[in-house]
């Protein structure tokens, strides 16, 4: 008696495409997360920059910074939703003060030559 052959494995349509598509989706997700994080860093640094400039212009008034943060927090929260509490705004100001965004070398060299 001849040994029986096992039935052929079922053919799965698109089996070779699944890993490629899965990798594309994963790469896209990672790109979106990195881009979103970069955009938030840029946003928070610039919010801190604007607040710093305004406080420096009005530094003569006592308690100006505290009043500004309270007012900004209320207005921004009303208009934009969560994330703009006074403590968060102070953090953005500190973030701007701690991290200088450097210009590219070509930009720095485009200034006057002494």
- At 63-110, the pLDDT tens digits run 899 999 999 999 999 999 999 999 999 999 999 999 877 666 665 556
> Residue 61 has what pLDDT?
83
> Does position 53 have pLDDT exceeding 90, yes or no?
yes
Do residues 65 and 55 touch, judged by C-beta distance below 8 A?
yes
Q: What are phi and psi of 92, to 5 degrees?
A: -65, -40
The model's pTM is: 0.71
Name the nearest CA neighbour of 65 among 75, 55, 74.
55
DSSP state of 42: H
- Tens of pLDDT, residue by residue over 13-51, are 878 899 999 999 999 999 999 999 999 999 999 999 999
> Residue 42 has what pLDDT?
94
Local structure of 94: helix, strand or coil: helix
CA atoms within a 13 Å half-sphere pointing along the CA-CB vector of 84: 18
> Residue 44 has what pLDDT?
95
């Amino acid at each position: 008696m001849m040994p029986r052959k096992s039935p052929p494995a079922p053919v799965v349509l698109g089996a070779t495409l699944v890993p490629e598509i899965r990798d594309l989706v994963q790469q896209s997700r990672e790109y979106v997360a990195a881009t979103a994080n970069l955009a938030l860093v840029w946003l928070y640094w610039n919010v801190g920059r604007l607040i710093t400039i305004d406080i420096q212009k009005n530094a003569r008034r006592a308690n100006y910074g505290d009043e500004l943060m309270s007012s900004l927090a209320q207005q921004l929260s009303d208009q934009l939703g969560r994330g703009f509490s006074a403590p968060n705004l102070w953090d953005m100001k500190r973030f701007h003060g701690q991290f200088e965004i450097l210009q590219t070398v070509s930009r720095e060299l485009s200034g006057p030559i002494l």
